[in-house]
Amino acid sequence: MKTRPESGRSWADASDGLRARLEPAGLTQVLGSARWNGTGAGDWHDDHGNLPPAGTVPEGLQYAFAWDVKAAPDGTRDGRTPRWYPQGITTTFDGYGGPHPALGRNIVAVSWYGKNGYGERGARVSFLDVTADSPNPVYQHVLLVEPRQVRADSRPTYRPVEMHAGGMAWVGNFLYIANRPGQSTTSRRGGMSVFDITKMVKVTGGEAFRDRFGYRNGKYYAYGYHYVLPLHHIYENAGGSDFQHSQLSLDRTQAGGHSIVSSEYTTATSGRAARWNLANSGYIADGDPDEGWSLRTERVQGAVSVTSGAYYSANSRRAHPNDPPLPGQLWKQMPRGSAPRKHRRLAVGPEDLSYDPAHGGSVWALGEHPFQRRVYRVGLDE
């Protein structure tokens, strides 16, 4: 892994230029202005009113909610839209070891990528207040952007960050988001794109302008979104590395300090995971991985490292591609690199994971399929 040099003026300079022209926005403001509320998970029907096949409620379920049924800023409906797909998940425990230090709230962040005509709109992150396992958590969407400024005297602007956003890890004020090779406009080699939460700004164009983006006629627009989160720096695969950064998580359970874990999605059992230790600043301490191991499980969508072991969320293989999706699986590997075993049933369409030591040890997970989307937490106890 290496940090990619920036071309032209730096992203940091462009972000500062945006903050000089627009209203800086912290999480207090972002969540305080949220207009959306999660709803109860209900009986895990598919939102068409049909009950799911038997066995699709996650085992060890502790908490869950569905997305708001109202339209999001760009007019799509979060629980059912085919234009945005949720992928990554992380929490303030990752970022700070507990509630947000300034807000005193437990916050979950979920990444989405645009699809089916929305790919050019890039990716977004939803911040959700799940304090006290709220049955109706408030949330706000923030669009991810690449800040741009050609010269010191030119107008700062931004463009969408087109990426799969397959996994996410909260590290202090940074959000690390996974890039598979060839799936991001800002990183063709694959790696991690890092966004600085302290650089968020509120744009001046509102929800009435869902098809406008960037600077126009004295205002800044973002496809109807109120807030944008600028790219800060990027880590890319070095040399001839073909590592597929499909998922990300943060590990706080190792004696040597905090680390980023990245893992691969493959349809075979040859997927890999790797760990990079973090400096106190939140940056990767060294470009070389500090540990690597084999997942030995196919179709892994999320991975967390916990002490000497690991847990994986994975899709289940269908007998025929046109068959309905099957419930996912949570696999346990103890120790890392050994033969994994099935540990828990997950919901249909499992994606990224995030470890939480509360409630006896648990993981946050989410489903991606329209009409079957839930965010939920399951216990790890046997």
How confident is the model over 144-175, as pLDDT tens digits?
999 998 887 889 999 999 999 999 999 999 99
pLDDT at 334: 96
Give the closest residue to 230 by CA, choosing from 89, 24, 87, 35.
24
Question: Is the per-residue pLDDT at 6 higher than 70?
Answer: no
Regarding predicted confidence, which is higher, 318 or 174? 174
pLDDT band at residue 194 under the 50/70/90 scheme:
very high
Mean pLDDT of 68-89: 93
Asked if residues 339 and 285 have their Cβ atoms less than 8 Å apart, the reply is no
Regarding predicted confidence, which is higher, 113 or 44? 113
pLDDT band at residue 50 under the 50/70/90 scheme:
low
Question: Is the per-residue pLDDT at 41 higher than 80?
Answer: yes
pLDDT at 5: 56
50's CB contacts (< 8 A; 6+ apart) are: none
188: left (phi over 0), alpha (psi -120 to 50) or beta: alpha
Q: What is the pTM of this model?
A: 0.95
- % of the chain at pLDDT higher than 70: 93
- % of the chain at pLDDT higher than 90: 75
Mean pLDDT of 59-66: 96
pLDDT at 321: 77
